[in-house]
Amino acid sequence: MSDKIDAVITDIIRENDDILRIELADANGAELPQFECGAHIDLHLPNGLIRQYSLWAAPGDTSRYHIAVKREVSSRGGSEAVHTMLSIGDSLKISAPRNNFGLDPDGSHAILLAAGIGITPLMSMALYLQANGKPFELHYFSRAPEVTAFADLIANSALAENTIHYYGQSADAVRSTLQQILQSRPTSTHVYLCGPSPFIDAVKYITAAHWPENTVHFEHFSAEAPVLTAGGDGFELYLAQSDKTFTIPSDQSIADVLTTNGIEVELSCEQGICGTCLTRVVDGIPDHEDMYLSDAEHALNDQMTICVSRCKTPRLVLDL
């Protein structure tokens, strides 16, 4: 469990109608923990929600953290709270940075693929690579120039030389463009991508034939939650440490049942993306619905995200 940090909002900059850039500092004036490219923090919002946001600035400056938040039309309360409830000077808690999406030290060239607000972790990578003289290319897909995050920052910096923008492309055009970008694989090149699921799925499909799996790195910024419906099969859950048994119905998640019954579990995204609720499996076969664990980790069946994943066997035993 990450230690919480008392933070204060030191600046809010409106990028455009949909995107805010927020600057955070330690409330007591201390240095913030170091971070690496691709890291994210938990933001504890005034409405009780916890959401993850990537740190978009280059590593090195620990006096401030910088995040960017897009206001989503279908917000589950996170982005809406950021845009309507936060002001300069507000105090709130954040987590220390975590990183599931770092740069591979063995890569000699980086291809960065961003779609929409998926630019945020890749921005940190681009700034780091630029500052350290490492070769990279940034391909940035967005709806239009006026809704593009960091448009001015990129245009007015050395990043412009390594960046290609693609505006308003159809889904077919995006796939075609990605095919052209990824048709050849230079030695020691790694691909890093962040965006919505169809964008990531397209890249995974294109690279499956000739890119080694360990050279393609991705991070989702949103997920479609599995549909839970009443009337299906539930399963029995036993908590090994607590010596408690629960029935998990088909229309509730493991996390829902545990929190309803007063069992404290750490939750954050509740979409199977962040790994905050990752729990060790003692017995039973999980039905993995997350986007956090790799296929190889899923196959081990020794841990699971209890916010979205379920069980293939009648009984599941967790180390809780």
Q: Tell me, yes or no, whether 265 lies in a domain.
A: yes
pLDDT confidence of residue 1? 42
DSSP 8-class letter at 168: S
226 lies in a domain? Answer: no
Whether residues 260 and 286 fall in one domain: yes
Residue 100 lies in a domain: no
**Separation of alpha carbons 306 and 286, rounded Å:** 10
Q: Provide the number of structural domains found in the chain.
A: 3
Six-digit token pair at 228? 């839970």
Give the domain CATH number at 312.
Answer: 3.10.20.30
Domain with residue 13: its CATH number is 2.40.30.10
pLDDT tens-digit map of 77-92: 789 999 999 999 999 9
219: phi then psi, degrees, rounded to nearest 5: -140, 125
For residue 64, what are its two tokens? 């401030």
Condensed to tens digits (0 to 9), the pLDDT of residues 217-267 reads 998 766 555 555 555 579 999 999 999 999 999 999 999 999 999 998 888
DSSP element (H, E) containing 126? helix 119-131
pLDDT in tens, 39-70: 999 999 999 888 999 999 999 999 999 999 99
Q: Label the pairing between strands 163-167 and 91-95.
A: unpaired
Give the global pTM: 0.81
Domain coverage including residue 116 = 109-220
Is 313 inside a domain boundary?
yes
